[in-house]
Structures are given as C-alpha cells and as structure tokens.
Structure 1
Amino acid sequence: MTIKKVTASTPAPGVPYYTPAQDPPVGTALDPRADVPTLFTPLTLRGMTLQNRFAVSPMCMYSADDGHLTDFHVVHLGAFALRGAALTIVEATAVTPNGRISPEDSGLWTDSQIAPLKRVVDFVHSQGHKIGVQLAHAGRKASTLSLWHLQTLGPVATPAHGGWPDDLWAPSAIAWDADHPTPNEMTVAQIDELVQRFADAAHRAVQAGVDTIEIHGAHGYLITQFLSPITNHRTDAYGGTFANRTRLLLAIIRAIRAVIPARMPLLLRLSATEWMEHTHTDPQSLSSSSSWDLPQTIQLAALLPDLGVDLLDVSSGGNNPRQQIAVHPYYQVDLAAAIRAAVRAPGGKGGPLAIGAVGMIRDAAMARDVVAQTASVEGEHGLTAKADLVLVGRQFLREPEFVLRAAAELGVAVKLPLQYERAPLRKAQRL
C-alpha cells in the first residue's frame, strides 16, 4: 500500500463542511508488509473493502424522531468511524411504522427519512469508512417502551405513549409473554406487502448512500417468528416445513437483492438457535423442528450464497422468555465457528459465505482470536478463524476507541485520526 501524504488543506470529499481527509482511514495497519494479526487486515465483500475486521453492531438507541435519525445519531455513530471502526451498522430500522420495536426507533418507511440517514452516511464516508443499515420488522415484539421506562411504565407502549399494541403483526396470534398483547396473524396479502416494504426501504437506503444492507432475522423479531415452529403455527405455505418457515426470509432476500447494486454486499443477521432445545422430546434429535436450532441454521446458511447473501451475522436467542442459555464469553462465537466450519467443509454447499461473530467481544485478544487465520504470526500459529468479522456492540459504548486500544494492546501500528495524533494510545491507556 502506498500511503499518500495528506495536508491539512486536503478536505474530505462528500460533506458540505471542512474536515480533513483521513488517508488511509483510521485503524488501517500502517505497515502491511509486517506480520499483523488478521484482525487488522482488509476484508472484501463484493465491492466493499473494510480496512480492518471491526464492525459496529446495530444497537437500538430509542432516540429517533418518528423514525427519522437526528443529530444524536451523527455524533453517536460518527464517533466509531472517527476512531477506526471499518464498518458501522445503523440500528434496527423499521420498514413499516408498526415494525418499530419502540416509538423512538429508526425507520425507512417514507422518503423523508432518507436525508437524515444520509447525514450519518456522509460523515462516516468522510472518515474513509463504510456504513450499513439493518432493516427490520419487530413483529409481536413491537410497540414496547425504551429501556429506561421499563421500571416505571412496564414493557408495552400504549397509545398514550405513542404505541400501537392493537396493530402487531406475527405469523401466528401468539403473544411474547403474559404481559404483552396478542399479535394479529398476518394475511398472505400482508406478507406480500411486507416483502415489498423491505425492498422499498432497501431502495431508500441506497439513495442515502449506504455501502451495505443487513436484514434483521434474529432476536425474536418477525423473521425469527416465522422461522421458529414455536411461534409459527401456520398451515399455509408459510408454516410447517423448513421450506415453508424460511419462505418469507428467502422472499425478502430476493426482493432486496433485486433493488440494490450488484456490487453492494447483503448481510443477514440470524439467531442461530433460540435456546429452546430443552423442550425437545427427543434428546437425540436437535433438528426435530420443535424449535429453531443450529442444524437448521446450517441448513439455511447453505442456501444463502446462491441467493446473494455475502455475510451471515451470527447471534442467538430472543424468541422466547423461557430460553435457557449457558452464558460464557464464546457462547455465540462458538455458534459462528460451527456454521463457518460446516459451510466451508470439503464438499459443503455453503459457497463463499463470510461469517460474522458477535457477543461478549470485550478485549483485543478475544477479537484477534475470533478472526485469526492459520498462520505463522505470533499468537495465531495453528489457529483457524471462527469468523471473518467481529461485530462489537456494548464494548463500543464503553470505549468508542476500542479499535485503537486493540491495536495498542496487540502492538499494531495503525493510522490515528489526524486531529488526535498528538495523543497516541499506549498499552493499558484510554484516549
């Protein structure tokens, strides 16, 4: 890589204000000839190249104005790109008003929501990094209150608080829990409408200039509800068999792929298991279709490359309050590793599907090990990657400079923000 000399007079392109161009982008390894961990090597998905393997996981902020992003989101999301995150994914963004998790969620159901998103996109691009948006519908888990209201008002957003508890969509009329409203079973016409709404939102995201789109099929929201036989009791073409329960998701993938540029990567977040295996009557058969589980996720993952999905973002749970999770630092990373191994096994049908890992990635060593390739690099020799990308959520909230701290901890010289070069981060220090 040839590093250009950048002067203070070189403006970043694409923004209506002066900010210096960061060339190369912050978080880029300065000497690619050196043995650097895979964590600080580029990753290319279709026409999008990331300078390192860090991505900001979508995180609800409950701070949008009728689905419109605000200045808060410019500051919140821009902080990660400024400090070296190669990819920032905007929080779950509803494709319909009734698909929001809370009344303050982000949305892309109307054209007026394009410009506020573009402000965030333009700032991230001014830092030389990439940005995506996660498109979602919350289904029966919609119309809830923000986290800080739970203790005083309870979980459900009533009409008095801007909610819509009588207008929840789900595959079947099964409430999330006793203190939640019963959703309406979707008609086939509503399912067709939903697919079109995902495509329309994806088109708006392209107009806003995003680099990638992620479909939210995890955490017990609407797509998960269709995948799981626990929440999907339909007897039509969208319920029963694996093919029927995945039909909606596959239709959404095809609809989005048809309206986004060929060079734009498409990501999918799934709950690899809903952690309800303890309900299976046959302990020898974890793919008995009594719940959504890892074997079915692997079966689905094999279909994704031919549909145009480039990365599977592996999460878990969220579809049933009675889930049982044995939590440990790698409890979700191990799911990602199992899927990656399966789709890349000799004779496997997974094709060139990249895998993202998320959950409890809190320090440099763990982030390094998750994506470490077999190589003769100190600390990596003999290791096989569990994933190709690390998606970090809460640790970025604790430390927006997590990328720079990880570089310092691992002894990797990386590009710093021009404005912050006078204060390089040392090992065990914070910015």
Structure 2
Amino acid sequence: MSLLFSPLSIRSVTFPNRLWVSPMCMYSAVDGVVQEWHHTHLTQFASGGAGLVIAEATGVVADGRISPRDTGIWNDAQRDAWAPIVQAIHDRGALAGIQLAHAGRKASTWWPWAEQRGSVAAADGGWTTVAPSAVAFAGFDEPAALDASGIERVVDGFRAAARRALEAGFDVLELHGAHGYLLHQFLSPLSNVRTDEYGGSLENRARLLLRIVDATREVAGDAVPMFVRISATDHAEGGFTPEEAAIVGGWAVEHGADLIDVSSGGLVAHQRIDVHPGYQVPLAETVRQGGRIPVSAVGLITAAEQAEQVLVDGAADAIFAGREWLRDPHFGLRAAHELDDTVAWPPQYVRARWR
C-alpha cells in the first residue's frame, strides 16, 4: 500500500486516504448562500477519489467575505444550504470540511473575472473593511483598525460559524490563517503595527488566532478534527518567517488544533515567490520538524508519484491539491491507478479501473 492511499486517523475521524482537495473560492454564492454550482463542484471530487474535500473560504461574518459573491455561514439559511452538499460528499465516500475565514483588509473586493479591480464601493455592494491596523493592501481601500469590541465580534463570529458548520454535518473545521487574510494579518509585522496585547511580539501577534482556536475547539468538543491553514512565509523582507510559523503551529496544536495546513504568501503585493513544482513542500517540512506537529503540504503537487514522495520523505502527513483537481476532478482515482493502489471507485466508474 502506498502512503498516499493509506488511512489517517485524527481524533474520532479516519480519513480513507491522504490526497485531499484544498479549499478553492468559486465566487458564485448569492448573499453568502451556496448554489447548484457548489454542489456539482464539490461532490465531483468525492466521486473522484478524494479522502477529504474542504469547501472554500467561507465568511464567518458578512464583512469577512473576500467578495460579495463569497460563501458564508453566519446565518441559518446558509447553514441549511450547505447541508445537502455535505450529505452528497458523504454519499460518495469522502469526508467534508469547511474553511472558516475572515478576509480582513482583503475583503470587499471584486471577484477575479469582474471588469473592475480593487475594493468594491458601498454603492456596488461593498463595505468598510477591518484589520489589525489601518494599513491597506496595495490597491485596496484603507481598513479600519479593530478595537476591543471588534476583536470580540471576530471571535464570536468564528465560534458561531463553527457551530453552524457542525450542524450542517461537516466532519472537519479549518481556520484560515493564511494568504493575507485577517488572522494572517495579525501574525505578520508587515500588516500588524499594533502596540497593545495583539501586536509586537510573536506571542501577541498570535493571540487572536489562538483565541479562535480555543473558541472553535470548545464548540467542536473532543471528537472533531480541526486544522489551521497558515502562510509559513510572507515572501517579503521583514515578514512572517518559517521559523515563526513552526512556533505558532506548535502553539495552535497545544490549544487544540490537530494539523497545520502549510501554504505561503498572499499578505503583500511586493512578495517575491519562486514558483515551481512542490515549491511549498520545504515549508511544510520546516513547520513539521520545528513544531513537531502534523502538517499537510500543498503547492503545485500535480502527480501521484510526486505526492507519494512527499509523504515518504517525511515532509508532510497529508497532501492538499487545488488546481490539479480542477483540471481532473478524478485525480484521486488516477493517482491510485498510477500507484497501483486501491481506492474506492464509484461502481459506475469501475470499468475504467483496469489497465
């Protein structure tokens, strides 16, 4: 048996394999409510051999969405719309997760294929964004710095979203602390210039993330796996570093997280990234070894043997992929076929299993 298609148990959940679908924004919701597009998009991966399908960055509050077209889970109507999608993923043999998110200063933006760019004006359905400090992302409107009550609202938003996600049937909760969104903005000194207990030292900059880990674990209880996605480097001088990421990842696990989903970048427009196959795997390995914690790897992992080697080398405990699943929604079936391993094929597709 390959490592890629071996099971992985976390708390009360056993993942059938370690080839998982990353959360990928579709910018296709209406008032935060998922649509038929999301149902087809997410369930096809379950039919395609994924062990876990994580739904896209989903706003825990209305003003936490990246764009007005992002999914949400701040009300019961949104929760109820997610439930049949979760059930359909389960019916096809995969586990379902959701990424709970707040975009911070990168909220209220136009979706990728809109004619406009930058921040969405209030007249067009946009809103005033919030952040740790009144420091704008290049090309976006300046955010309002969160005060004490605003921070409490964020924590409460994650807590309530986690509860609704579990009510919808999700098996895994992931907190989005990467890609330049709010929790990452607190972690990085490039976006967090606060002088109170949420700024300055690494411990202070990690305080909000750890409070949210605590709040989410309280809701989730002892049985539900909880992941935290982080950007292990800002790819910019003076920013968040892999060494700091390993420390914060260790703290998150101490507070109740189970796995750190290691990505990178997204905080500043002047980042410089050397993009190549597997380019983020060394970051995952740094966090895994430095924090002595379980991690997943992501980043241009596009082939079965490549994914298997990451696990064999001990760089990660599981593999997330994004674009390859978009190119081939049956990536899991293909990968198992190429590794001459076993995965649960839908009976309708079994004729394609054999050479």
Give the structure-1-normalised TM-score. Answer: 0.81
Residue number in structure 2 paired with 1:421: 350
Q: Distance in 2 between matches of 1:295 and 1:391?
A: 22
Structure number with bigger Rg: 1
Residue number in structure 2 paired with 1:301: 249
How much does 1:85 deviate? 0.4
CA contact (8 A) 2:243 2:286 kept: no
CA contact (8 A) 1:405 1:425 kept: no
Residue number in structure 2 paired with 1:158: 121
Query: % of aligned pairs identical?
Result: 46
CA contact (8 A) 2:243 2:290 kept: no
1:197 to 157, 164, 169: 157
Q: Distance in 1 between matches of 2:179 and 2:345?
A: 35
How much does 1:425 deviate? 6.0
Number of paired residues? Answer: 355
Secondary structure of the residue that 1:91 maps to in structure 2? strand
Residue number in structure 2 paired with 1:265: 225
1:397 to 285, 304, 326: 326
1:71 to 36, 39, 50: 36
> Any idea what the Cα deviations from partners look like across 1:336-385, whole Å, max 9, x if unmatched?
012112233xxxxxxxx32100110111111111112xxxxxxxxxxx32
Q: Which amino acid aligns with 1:254?
A: D
Residue number in structure 1 paired with 2:146: 186
Q: Which amino acid aligns with 1:171?
A: P
> Any idea what the Cα deviations from partners look like across 1:176-232, whole Å, max 9, x if unmatched?
01x210000111110011101100000000100110100000000000111111111
How much does 1:84 deviate? 1.0
CA contact (8 A) 2:86 2:96 kept: yes
Q: Distance in 1 between matches of 2:219 and 2:344?
A: 35
Residue number in structure 1 paired with 2:304: 364
RMSD (Å), alpha carbons: 1.2
Q: Which amino acid aligns with 1:312?
A: I
CA contact (8 A) 1:238 1:244 kept: yes
Q: Which amino acid aligns with 2:48?
A: R
Structure 1 pair 411–232 and aligned structure 2 pair: CA distance change class (3 A):
same
Moved more, 295-304 or 89-98: 295-304
Give the structure-2-normalised TM-score. Answer: 0.97
Residue number in structure 2 paired with 1:28: none
CA contact (8 A) 2:96 2:171 kept: yes
Q: Which amino acid aligns with 1:93?
A: T
Q: Distance in 1 between matches of 2:106 and 2:169?
A: 29
Q: Distance in 2 between matches of 1:252 and 1:107?
A: 18
Residue number in structure 1 paired with 2:132: 171
CA contact (8 A) 1:171 1:232 kept: yes
Residue number in structure 2 paired with 1:81: 46
Q: Write out aligned runs for 1:111-260 (5 A).
A: 111-149=76-114, 152-164=115-127, 167-177=128-138, 179-260=139-220
Q: Distance in 2 between matches of 1:46 and 1:331?
A: 30
Q: Which amino acid aligns with 2:234?
A: E
Uncovered stretches (5+) of structure 2, i.e. residues with no partner: none
* Divergent runs of 4+, >6 A: none
| Greater fraction of residues in helix | 2
Residue number in structure 2 paired with 1:328: 276
Structure 1 pair 425–175 and aligned structure 2 pair: CA distance change class (3 A):
farther
How much does 1:424 deviate? 2.7
Residue number in structure 1 paired with 2:239: 291
Q: Does 1:42 align with 2:7?
A: yes
Secondary structure of the residue that 2:85 maps to in structure 1? helix
Uncovered stretches (5+) of structure 1, i.e. residues with no partner: 1-35, 280-289, 345-352, 373-383, 427-431
Q: Distance in 1 between matches of 2:343 and 2:175?
A: 31
CA contact (8 A) 1:404 1:425 kept: no
Secondary structure of the residue that 2:194 maps to in structure 1? coil
